């Protein structure tokens, strides 16, 4: 069974929406009624609950959920040669349970 077949809600690709909670910031990759995926320079702990503010300059809203998976997606080279890890994480919206 593929990941797409296991999902209870269809995912919609989203562009240009910033995600932050005061410590972690990144970009929203996709969103569904049951979850979201974000890209960030922070490794998120699987099972941990996070509340994020999602938004654009003219509107934003908060969502809370538990991290279901997190993985290193790639690295980015900075202008001074520093390497920054880029993580992608899946978050179950409204989930109050910790794994």
Which pLDDT tens digit goes with each residue over 33-43? 899 999 999 99
In this prediction, residue 94 carries a pLDDT of: 78
In this prediction, residue 35 carries a pLDDT of: 93
Q: Is the domain defined by 3-93 classed in CATH 3.50.50.60? A: no
* CA dist., res. 7 & res. 15, Å (int): 21
Helix (H, G, I), strand (E, B) or coil at 3: helix
Q: Global pTM?
A: 0.82
* CA dist., res. 70 & res. 25, Å (int): 15
In this prediction, residue 5 carries a pLDDT of: 52
**Higher local confidence (pLDDT), 76 or 59:** 76
> Residue 6: enclosing H or E segment and its boundaries?
helix 3-6
Percentage of the chain exceeding pLDDT 90: 65
Task: Please enumerate in sequence order all residues whose Cβ is within 8 A of that of 2, keeping only pairs 6 or more positions apart, or say none.
Answer: none
């Amino acid at each position: 069974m593929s990941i797409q077949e296991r999902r209870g809600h269809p995912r919609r690709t989203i562009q240009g929406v910033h995600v932050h909670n005061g410590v972690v910031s990144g970009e929203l990759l996709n969103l569904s009624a049951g979850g979201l995926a974000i890209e960030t320079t922070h490794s998120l702990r699987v099972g941990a609950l996070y509340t994020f503010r999602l938004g654009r300059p003219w509107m934003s809203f908060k969502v809370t959920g538990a991290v279901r998976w997190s993985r290193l997606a790639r690295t980015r080279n900075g202008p001074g040669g520093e390497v920054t890890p880029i993580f992608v994480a899946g978050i179950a919206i409204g989930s109050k349970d910790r794994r």
